[in-house]
Amino acid sequence: MEDYFYLAGTTLIEIPIHFIQSPVLPSVLSLSYTCLSCYDSRTLESVLQFLKDIFLTSSFSERIQSIPQTIVDPLCDMLKEKGCELMAKLFEGLVLTFPRDVVPYVGPLLVAMVKSMSNETKAWLETVLGGLSEDEMGKQEKETFLRKLWAYVYHIFSLSIFSFSLSFSFSFSLAISSHSIW
């Protein structure tokens, strides 16, 4: 499965217009969400990287190549349609199922989601947290969690801008692996 998502990500980066317009894209996205429930670190890493790339492709300011907005709009619609499901799987993975070595891959995906759809991303997370009972997570815990998570995401976001401007992407990966959202 990991090779499949590395290939999908490479295809997305190399020929984004063809990939976005492909009739298999909805199936690939659906499969990526399903794979977030697996326990294999390498598969999870490749899926999280693919999802990060797909969100960055949907972001006007982050696209690697010039892609007409009319081509990107259907992709954005697909991502918005399943955004809450994706957030729920990420939250469940972070709290319960993701192996520890996969957790650093979630930060860049969240940053890509914020860059692409910041209001929607925040709403998705609030919906996921709102679905938890007071026994599972109290109101104060939810507010604290959201505050810390958004501080983390925006910190990483600012680090990514800094490292990009210096063309020093290695510092970005070190910053991600040295921070904890808890």
pLDDT of amino acid 81: 95
What's the confidence (pLDDT) of residue 127? Answer: 92
Containing structural domain, residue 169: 2-177
Once rounded to an integer, what is the mean pLDDT over residues 29-42? 95
What single string gives the DSSP state of each residue in 73-96?
HHHHHHHHHTHHHHHHHHHHIIII
Whether 182 is covered by a domain: the verdict is: no
- Within a domain: residue 17? yes
Residue 75 lies in a domain: yes
Q: What's the pLDDT at 174?
A: 41
CA gap 162, 76 in Å, rounded: 26
Our CA angle for 75, 80, 84, nearest 5°, is: 140
47-89: pLDDT as tens digits: 999 999 999 998 877 666 678 889 899 999 999 999 999 999 9
Residue 29 lies in a domain: yes
- Decide if 132 is inside a domain: yes
pLDDT tens-digit profile of 123-163? 998 899 888 888 888 888 888 887 887 777 777 666 554 44
